[in-house]
Amino acid sequence: MLLYCKDLTKKFGEITAVNRLSFDVKAQEIFGIAGPNGAGKTTLYNLITGVYKGIGEINFDGSEINNLDPHRICHKGIARTFQIPQLATSLSAYHNIKIAAHFGNEKNRVDKKVIDDVIAFNGLRDKQGIVADKLSLIDKKLTMVAAAMATQPKMLMFDEPMAGLSPLEIRHLMDLFKKINEERGLTIVIIEHFMKVLTELADRLMILENGAKLCIGPPLEVTQDKRVIESYLGNCYAESK
């Protein structure tokens, strides 16, 4: 067990975005998260990565990380990407990745070999000199993945990485995530609305509803659960199976 959350809660005024949520993520697994818009998925990511402070327990790799700042959590080994690419748009892909490597290094040292490695791994050698604002959407997303990997994490968290991509680009990212998991041994947590992506990639899948856990288990079992069909997938999904 690499990540363990217990009774995790986050309120915004009278709105409970995450409601007494408990779950764990095993080392080197791909763990999927899905649910309706407003279910609390991104809020959960913000709690785990230190953007928000909440109530409850967050334990990562044997250490409590509840009250740590984002850079300290990154140093512990958690890195993330965003649904809408978050890059320094006036800098090249290379320098965006270099900044991430610096942010993720507790001793403020940047290893050029690490940067070159993640650039090559993500197929960005021909794109590394391009200003981020000029990159295509898929290359912006790949730059975010490379930047996250440059922090040398133990766990990568992807927030709707397939949004806006073509079917071929989605397949490319799916293959890349499998490669990251299998060849680099990194644990992956992924929020995604495309159920085909999650049923193919994830070892386990958790469905959130109103900030709470509705169902968790192997993807094929979860997608056949009546509660999940009624609240999220709909009868059309069930009938297509």
Q: How many CB atoms lie within 10 A of CB 73?
A: 21
Mean pLDDT for the chain overall = 93
pLDDT digits (tens, 9 = 90+) for 104-132: 877 667 788 999 999 999 999 999 999 99
Cβ count near 119 (within 10 Å): 22
Q: Hunting for tokens 């495309």 — which residue is that? A: 194
pLDDT 10s digits, 68-88: 999 999 999 999 999 899 999
What 3-state class would DSSP assign to 17? Answer: strand
C-alpha distance across the termini of the chain, in Å: 32
Measuring CA to CA, which residue among 33, 65, 29, 28 is closest to residue 50?
65
Q: How far is CA 195 from CA 33, 125, 154, 221, 226, in A?
A: 10, 31, 25, 13, 16
Domain 3-77+154-240 in CATH 3.40.50.300: yes
User: Where exactly does CATH 3.40.50.300 map onto the chain?
Assistant: 3-77+154-240
